């Protein structure tokens, strides 16, 4: 979960090119690559999207932390299940009307995690463009009755304080625009790494008040050190978090795992911390920590069963057609408009779709 995690991220721009489908016309000549659908357009003057009656976000409404669990507007403990996009700077073509329709109606997902990288060609390169993309994806998730989990996908540098000023600017605008929605979730630090928990805590206690000044009650998620493993990937103890909690309300701490790499020791960490602080698994895969390689479905099922028992919400990595095994769609799928059913899915996609659908 160290160099291989970094490769999964930073190598993705190369991988997106390598994995892009090559269309061969008759006679062997290469046809032009498929057009990439633009991100949803945003009209600042337009009325915000409404939640469809009976949809997950309409039924559950404003989310609250109750003890160490996540509760809906009625105080009932719930578990959200859904998908994370890949980096929207690379795979926006996979986040469009047809794919989101499939996610909401065929997969029956509760939540869409919108992965906006900060460096690596993301927000830092064009703040206006990426902020508007996120605005658009929030509205698209809302139209389909899903929770919109806005992921500030910092990764390199691993210390989130490097991007504190950017985070404040971004989340102030997002919270101001969407504060009246009941389906918004803010994830302010994806995978802090090579940094102490005290540094992550300091960052969170600067950014959360900016959100709260605009949106006083929506759920906020905070990544933990050691690539969101409560320090376990750095050989640290979860007690560093448990004994030094963030000074804020209605927050949860995030945990990430990749089942082919992260065996029972990680499973035990998740089980332990979930009884002591509120936890949301915002990213996991059935493969290695590289997001690639063989699937370990038996180990993955241990995690799924644990998360079901303890009502730990989760989003799977990732909703794209990247060439790696962790992308749910077969390469080339996102050039088209057919996303429902199992025919377009890799093995991991079939597996996770079934576990989102089956309640």
The pLDDT-based confidence of 4 (bands split at 50, 70, 90) is very low
Give yes or no for a contact between 260 and 235, defined as CB atoms under 8 angstroms apart: no
Does the pLDDT value for residue 20 go beyond 50? no
Q: What is the pLDDT of residue 99?
A: 99
Q: What is the pLDDT of residue 21?
A: 32
120, 139, 191, 240: the active-site residue: 191
DSSP 318-346: --S--SSTTSSBPTTGGGSS--SSSTTB-
260 CB-side CA count, 13 A:
17
Task: Output 317 or 6, whichever has higher pLDDT.
Answer: 317
Distance between CA atoms of 282 and 112, rounded to whole angstroms? 10
Q: What is the pLDDT of residue 302?
A: 99
Nearest Cα residue to 316 out of 6, 99, 103: 103
Element (H, E) at 348: helix 347-357
* Residues contacting residue 139 through CB under 8 Å, at least 6 positions apart: 40, 42, 48, 49
120, 283, 342, 347: the active-site residue: 283
What is the Cα 243 distance to its own chain's centre? 26
DSSP 240-263: HHHTS--S-SSEEEEEEEETTT--
Does the pLDDT value for residue 147 go beyond 70? yes
Does the pLDDT value for residue 8 go beyond 60? no
Structural domains of the chain sorted by starting position, each given as residue range(s) with its CATH number in brackets = 3-12+55-357 (3.20.20.80)
Could you tell me the two tokens for 251? 């927050």
Could you tell me the two tokens for 69? 């669990």
Q: Is 37 one of the annotated active-site residues of the chain?
A: no
Does the pLDDT value for residue 32 go beyond 90? no
* SS3 track for 125-140: HCHHHHHHHHHHHHHH
Nearest Cα residue to 200 out of 245, 234, 149: 245
Give yes or no for a contact between 89 and 127, defined as CB atoms under 8 angstroms apart: no
Does the pLDDT value for residue 287 go beyond 60? yes
- Taking every pair of Cα atoms in the chain, the longest distance, rounded to a whole number of angstroms, is 67
Nearest Cα residue to 181 out of 60, 315, 54: 60
Distance between CA atoms of 188 and 150, rounded to whole angstroms? 8
Q: What is the pLDDT of residue 16?
A: 38
Nearest Cα residue to 322 out of 17, 89, 1, 7: 17
* Residues contacting residue 11 through CB under 8 Å, at least 6 positions apart: none
Distance between CA atoms of 114 and 220, rounded to whole angstroms? 14
Q: Please report where in the chains the tokens 């103890």 appear, as a residue.
A: 237
pLDDT 10s digits, 37-67: 455 555 544 567 889 999 999 999 999 999 9
Q: What is the pLDDT of residue 48?
A: 74
Q: What is the pLDDT of residue 359?
A: 80
The pLDDT-based confidence of 5 (bands split at 50, 70, 90) is very low
The pLDDT-based confidence of 206 (bands split at 50, 70, 90) is very high
pTM value? Answer: 0.89
Q: Is 124 one of the annotated active-site residues of the chain?
A: no
Give yes or no for a contact between 23 and 34, defined as CB atoms under 8 angstroms apart: yes
Q: What is the pLDDT of residue 14?
A: 36
Could you tell me the two tokens for 104? 């909401």
- Arithmetic mean of pLDDT, 149-169: 99
256 CB-side CA count, 13 A:
30
Could you tell me the two tokens for 122? 């993301």
Does the pLDDT value for residue 74 go beyond 60? yes
């Amino acid at each position: 979960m160290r160099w291989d995690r970094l490769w999964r991220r930073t190598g993705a721009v190369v991988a997106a090119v390598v994995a892009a489908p090559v269309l061969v016309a008759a006679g062997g000549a290469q046809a032009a690559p498929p057009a990439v659908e633009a991100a949803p357009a945003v009209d600042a003057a337009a009325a915000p999207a409404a939640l469809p009656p009976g949809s997950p976000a309409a039924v559950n409404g404003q989310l609250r932390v109750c003890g160490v669990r996540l509760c809906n507007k009625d105080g009932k403990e719930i578990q959200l299940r859904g998908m994370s996009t890949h980096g929207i700077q690379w795979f926006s073509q996979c986040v469009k009307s047809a794919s989101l329709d499939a996610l909401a109606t065929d997969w029956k997902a509760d939540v869409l995690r919108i992965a906006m990288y900060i460096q690596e060609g993301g927000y830092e390169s064009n703040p206006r463009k990426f902020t508007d993309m996120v605005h658009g994806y929030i509205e698209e998730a809302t139209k389909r009755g899903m929770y919109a989990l806005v992921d500030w996908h910092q990764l390199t540098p691993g210390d989130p304080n490097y991007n504190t000023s950017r985070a404040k600017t971004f989340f102030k605008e997002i919270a101001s625009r969407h504060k009246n929605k009941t389906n918004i979730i803010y994830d302010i630090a994806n995978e802090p790494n090579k940094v102490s928990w005290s540094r992550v805590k300091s960052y969170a206690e600067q950014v959360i008040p900016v959100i709260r000044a605009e949106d006083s009650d929506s759920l906020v998620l905070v990544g933990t050190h050691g690539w969101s493993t409560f320090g376990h990937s750095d050989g640290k103890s979860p007690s560093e978090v448990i004994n030094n909690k963030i000074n804020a309300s209605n927050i949860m701490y995030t945990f990430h795992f990749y089942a082919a790499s992260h065996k029972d020791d990680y499973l035990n960490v998740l089980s332990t911390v979930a009884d002591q602080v509120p936890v949301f698994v915002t990213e996991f895969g059935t493969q290695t920590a590289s997001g690639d390689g063989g699937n370990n479905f038996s180990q993955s099922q241990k995690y799924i069963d644990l998360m079901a028992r303890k009502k730990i919400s989760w989003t799977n990595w990732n909703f794209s057609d990247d060439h790696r095994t962790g992308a749910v769609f077969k390469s080339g799928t996102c050039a088209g408009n057919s996303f429902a059913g199992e025919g377009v899915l890799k093995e991991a996609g079939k597996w996770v779709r079934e576990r989102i659908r089956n309640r």
